[in-house]
């Protein structure tokens, strides 16, 4: 099959499979290897040691699929531009938009495997490998090269006309496909909204210090969270969308900045939110079976029960710092002294009590 025909087929299949955008890039080594190495050398990956361990693989798609020549890159939309959350219900913690519906790994992988199967039939003898977050691939850089969008100052991919509420995936292949998708110009310009709005000051242009990023802290970090970051967590129980919420390219009223930008493609039903927030006291009462039941089919399962309880107690601390609530405070006290709770959760409870200080002592518990 000719590279042109292979590209046409791949893009048609991506459309049939319902991806919001697709493009084709050369599967060549990263052009930003030094940036990644510097970022790692500065420890900005926090405790995500796997990023440092597989760095050479991450920098070269041919190490993930030997002989890789092309990358078909796809994107799913998981939230509407201009989507605004109302007030978080009392005693609830917010969940980042990408984790409110069905687990994107399953949703994307299933369709990428179907794409691989169809392409294998058409090109026997070539190898295809689906990648979605689980393989060491620089998906954002590949997406930018494939013309899906540009990498914004908050380091997420923004597609003209669609915004950044995008989940990325791809297929590496040994087949040569004609490149499809012009690189998209950077439209961040002089804007600094994401940098200014980030509550932990995690963003420097085109780089995020994961050690300060609420998404990393609440989703990836399996260790205690530094007390200086407890208040900035705000009401985020799992993830954080602030840098995306403030981005003008996620505003429903934003003009399409690029000529020939694609029309809005529909959001997949799979990502329809099952919940936007969770009841903090309920999470604090979960056992392993409750967590499995409540988060069945959700990407939130990435966080362990101890991490979710740690997050819940820290968000509860922020709620209590704003307005006393005797029963909730008593719950924090009980957890701090409960030897059956994981030490990380008890430590978080102790930190909340220490932070509340006098006000905690003044608020008499509900009996
Ligand atoms: S996700 Fe939140 S904490 Fe992380 S960089 Fe964006 S605004 Fe900052
Ligand atoms: S908020 Fe502004 S600077 Fe940040 S990614 Fe969006 S356009 Fe770029």
198 CA distance to ligand 1 centroid (A)? 5
Q: Domain extents for the chain?
A: 1-79+103-214
Q: Is residue 259's pLDDT more than 60?
A: no
Residue 79's pLDDT band (cuts 50, 70, 90) = very high
Among 31-35, 159-163, 215-219, name the most confident range. 215-219
Rounded mean pLDDT of the chain? 92
CA 176 distance to own-chain centroid: 31
Mean per-residue pLDDT, 65-72: 97
Lowest mean pLDDT among 48-57, 147-156, 159-168, 259-268: 259-268
- The finding on whether 29 has its CB within 6 A of some atom of ligand 2 is no
Q: Which of 18, 69, 33, 32 is nearest to 171 (CA)?
A: 69
234 CA distance to ligand 2 centroid (A)? 22
Give counts: helices (H), strands (E), the chain.
15, 11
State pTM to two decimals: 0.92
Query: What pLDDT is attached to residue 262?
Result: 46
Active-site position among 133, 186, 270, 279: 133
Q: Is residue 257's pLDDT more than 90?
A: no
Residue 179's pLDDT band (cuts 50, 70, 90) = confident
- The finding on whether 96 has its CB within 6 A of some atom of ligand 1 is no
| Residue pointed to by tokens 């893009």 | 11
Query: What pLDDT is attached to residue 72?
Result: 97
At residue 121, what are phi and psi to the nearest 5 degrees? Answer: -60, -40
**Parallel, antiparallel, or unpaired for β 203-204 and 21-26?**
unpaired
CB 199 within 8 A of CB 214: yes
1 CA distance to ligand 2 centroid (A)? 41
Structure token digits, residue 325 = 């609530």
Q: Which of 234, 221, 241, 240 is nearest to 310 (CA)?
A: 221
Query: What pLDDT is attached to residue 358?
Result: 59
Determine whether 133 is an active site residue.
Answer: yes
User: Which atom in ligand 2 lies closest to the alpha carbon of residue 195?
Assistant: 4
């Amino acid at each position: 099959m000719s590279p042109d025909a292979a590209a046409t087929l791949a893009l048609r299949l991506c459309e049939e499979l319902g991806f919001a955008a697709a493009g084709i890039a050369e599967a060549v080594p990263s052009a930003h290897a030094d940036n990644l190495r510097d970022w790692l050398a500065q420890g900005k990956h926090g405790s995500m040691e796997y990023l440092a361990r597989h760095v050479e693989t991450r920098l070269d798609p041919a190490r993930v699929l030997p002989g890789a020549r092309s990358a078909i890159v796809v994107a799913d939309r998981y939230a509407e531009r201009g989507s605004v959350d109302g007030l978080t219900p009392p005693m609830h913690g917010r969940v980042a938009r990408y984790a409110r519906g069905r687990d994107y790994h399953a949703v994307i992988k299933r369709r990428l495997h179907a794409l691989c199967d169809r392409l294998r039939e058409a090109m026997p003898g070539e190898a295809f490998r689906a990648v979605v977050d689980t393989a060491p691939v620089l998906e954002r850089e590949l997406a930018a090269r494939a013309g899906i969008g540009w990498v914004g100052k908050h380091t997420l991919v923004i597609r003209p006309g669609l915004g950044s509420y995008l989940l990325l995936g791809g297929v590496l292949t040994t087949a040569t496909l004609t490149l499809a998708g012009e690189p998209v110009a950077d439209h961040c310009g002089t804007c600094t909204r994401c940098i200014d709005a980030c509550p932990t000051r995690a963003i420097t242009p085109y780089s995020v210090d994961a050690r300060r990023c609420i998404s990393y802290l609440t989703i990836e970090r399996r260790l205690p969270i530094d007390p200086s970051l407890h208040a900035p967590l705000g009401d985020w129980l799992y993830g954080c969308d602030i840098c995306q919420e403030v981005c003008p390219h996620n505003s429903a009223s934003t003009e399409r900045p690029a000529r020939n930008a694609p029309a809005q493609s529909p959001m997949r039903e799979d990502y329809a939110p099952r919940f936007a927030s969770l009841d903090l006291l309920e999470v604090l009462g979960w056992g392993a079976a409750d967590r499995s039941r409540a988060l069945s089919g959700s990407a939130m399962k990435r966080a362990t029960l101890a991490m979710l309880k740690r997050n819940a107690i820290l968000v509860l601390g922020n709620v209590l710092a704003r307005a006393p609530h005797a029963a909730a405070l008593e719950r924090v006290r009980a957890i701090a002294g409960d030897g059956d709770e994981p030490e990380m959760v008890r430590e978080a409870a102790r930190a909340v009590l220490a932070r509340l200080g006098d006000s905690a002592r003044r608020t008499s518990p509900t009996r």
